[in-house]
Structure 1
Amino acid sequence: MWDRVREWFRERKEKLDLFDETYADRQDNPLYLLGQIVYFSWIAVVVSGILLMIWYEPTTHGAYNSILRIQREIPFGWLIRGVHKYGADMLIIAITLRIYRMYFLGEYKRPHELSWMILFASLVLAMISGLTGYLLIWNQRAFWAAKVVLTVAVYLDELPLIGQTRFGSAIAFAFLGGPAEGQGTLTRFYAIHFGISALLLIATEVYFIFTRRRRFVLSPTALVILCLMLVVTSYVFPAEMGRRADPNRTPLPILSDWYFLALYQYVKYTPPLWAGLGPGLLIAYGMLVPFLDRSKGRRPSERPFFTVVGVMALVYFLVFTALIMFNIAVIGRDPHVVLLLTAATLVVGLVLELRYRRRQKLAEAAAPRPAPRPAPARAAAG
C-alpha cells in the first residue's frame, strides 16, 4: 500500500505546476497567464504588507489611527495600502479564474490532481488571509463582517455528533480570543494574517529551489501592465477607511469583501445546520473532485454532470453576491426556490451524464473491432 502511495506522489510531483510556469510557450493565451498573475500579485501583497507592518499598530485603540496615518501622512502610504488591497483582490480573482480554467478543461485529471488540490487549498487560505487582514483596519464594516463569519463556525454545534463537543463554539472562541471581539481577536487575526503569508512564502521558495524553475515567465510588457493596473487603481480608487469599529452600533446591511458576500447570503438563506455544514461540503467537493470525476474525457461536453455543477456554482456565486449587495432578497421565498433549482439542476446534470455514458458505450459496441491475427503456421513434423 505504501509503495502505491509513494508512487502516486512521485508521479504527481513530477507534473506539479503551481504557477503555470510550465506553460511559458502559451503566453499568447491569457488563460495560461493566470498562474503567473497569481505569483505576481502574491509577491506584491507580501512586499506591501511588510512595508505596512512598519507603521501599523495592532491594538484596538491604535489600529484605525495607524491605518489613517499610513493613508494620509506617510509618503506614498496610500499607494502601499492600495497595492496591498488591490493586489489581494487580484490574487483571489486570478486563483478563482485559474480554478475555473482547470475545472472546465479537465486539467485536474491525472497526473495533475496534486496541482489542483494545492491550488484549491490556496484559494481557501487566501480568503482566510483576506478575512483576517480585513479586520486589521478595525472599522465598522470589518468588525461586523468578521463577527458574521465566525458565527458560521458556531453553527457546527448543530451537527448531531460534533454538536455535543461544542466544537464550533470552541473554534469561534479560539479566533475571538474571548467571549466577544476585542484585543484578543485583533492579535490572533494579525498573527494568522502574517503566519499564512510567511509559511506560504517559505513553501514556495522551497518549491522553486527543488524544481529549479523560473519564478517569472511573464514578459516585461505584461509585468509593466500589471504594475500599472495596481498603481492606477490605487490612485483612482483609494482604499477606503470607513468608520471606526463600534461594537454597540450594527451597520445594515453587514457587508464584507466581495468574495465573502455570497457566503453571507447563503447563511441568510439556510438554517444553522446547513449554514455551518455547507461551506465545508463545498471545500471537500473542490478538493476531491479529481477523484470523484472518473470520466476519461477532459472537454466539458464529455463530463456533463461536473460541468453543470461548475456552472451552477458560478451562477450562485454571482446571484447571491448581487442579492446581498442590492438587498433585494426575499428570505421567506427565495430559499425554497434555490432548493428546487439546485435539485432540478443536479438531476439534469445526472441525466445528461448517464445519457452521455450510454452513447459512449453504444459507440464502442458499434465500432469495428480489429480482425484477429492469424495464428502462425506450425512447422511440419519431420
Structure 2
Amino acid sequence: MKYVVVLGDGMADEPLEALGGKTPLAYAKTPAMDLLAKTGDIGMARTVPEGMSPGSDTANLSIMGYNPEIYYSGRSPLEALNIGVSMEEGDVAIRANLVTLSEKEENYEERHLLDHSADEISTEEASALLEAVKEGLENQEFQFYAGTSYRHCLIWKHGNVVPLTPPHDIREREIKNYLPDEELLLAMQKESYKILENHPINQKRREKGLNPANSLWFWGAGTKPSLSSFEGKFHKKGVMISAVDLLKGIAVGTGMKNISVEGANGGLHTNYEGKAQAALDALLKEGYDFAYIHVEAPDEMGHQGSVEKKIQAIEYLDERVIKLVKEGLEKSGEDYRLLILPDHPTPIKVKTHTANPVPYLLYDSRKTEETGNCYSEETGAHFEPVKGHELLKILFEE
C-alpha cells in the first residue's frame, strides 16, 4: 500500500459573486478530482487549532500529524532547519521577506506594502540582494541566511520572540501601524530600504516593469523546534516534495527525505509534472511508503487577489499533479490511498489566511462503490470537522 497527500496550499475559499456563488475550487475544471470523488470520502478538517494563527506553519504541522499546540515554536525556525542554520538554545529565528514598498513617500513609516513577494523574485536575484544586506547589517548578534525566492532568514543570537505582522496580511496598506515595536528590528528594516532602493538589480527590475525588492520585512519569530521522527511516529518512510523552505524544514525536523525538483519555485508556473514524477519515483522505485506533495501556487494567487489565477492554479494541480500521480500508481498495480486538501483557506476577498476548516477528499484505490460525492467546500461543510493532526491516522487506516 502506498500513501500520498496532495496539498494545494490556500486552495479553499469563499463563494464569490463573480463565479455565480461558487468558490474557485468548485468553479475550476477538475476532472481528476471529480473522478476520485465519485468513489472517495469527503470530510472536513480543522487544521488550525482554536486561538492559533492560521498560517501554513501551524496547518501543515497539523496535517503531518504534529499537533501545533504541542510542537509549534514559530514559523521561521522550521524554515531555518531546511536552510541548514544551526540554532542554539536561546536563539530566535525570524523570517526576512524581500518585499516591495511604495517609493513616493518621504518617510519610511508612511510607505505602503505593495507586494509581499516582490513579483515572486527569483532566488538568484534575491540572494544577490541579501548579500548587500549582509554587508550593511550583519554582525555578531544578527546573521542573515538566504532561502528561496523572497523568503529568507534572520538569526538573532539570544534574542527575544516579539510579535511581528506577516506582510501578506497587509498588502496595499500603510505600514505605520504594523512595524516592529523592537527598535533593533525596526532600525534594520529602515536601513535595508536605503541599501536596496537603488541596488542595480532593483533598477533593472523597474526597467522590466517588475516590482523592486526594496526592503526587508521581519515576521514569524520563534525558537529552536523539537519534532519527533515521522517514521517512528507512523512506521512509514516518507518524502517531502515542496519548493518552500517551511515544508522542507518540517521534513528535516521529522527525518523525512526532501526531494528537490528542478524548476519548482512556489509560483503559478512551477514544475507540476516534476513534482508528480518525483513522488512516483520515490514510491515505486525507491521503496518509500508515503509522499507529501505540496503546491504553493493557489495560496500565492489568493494573496494576490486574482480569481482567474487561483482557478488556474487549482486546474494545474488537478491536471498536472493529481491526474499524473493517479495514472502512475494505477499503472504500477500498487494499491494506494490518496488524501487531497488545502492547509487553510486563502480567500480572494481578504487576500490572507483564515482559520476556517477545510474540505478533504480521501480516495482508496480498492473501493469501487460509487458515492456520488463531489469535492468542494460546500460538500465538506456537511461533516463535523476532525482535528487536523488526526488526518494521517485516517489516511493510514486499512
State the TM-score, normalizing by the size of structure 2.
0.25
| Higher relative contact order (Cα pairs below 8 Å, separated by 6+ residues) | 2
Greater percentage in strand: 2
State the TM-score, normalizing by the size of structure 1.
0.25
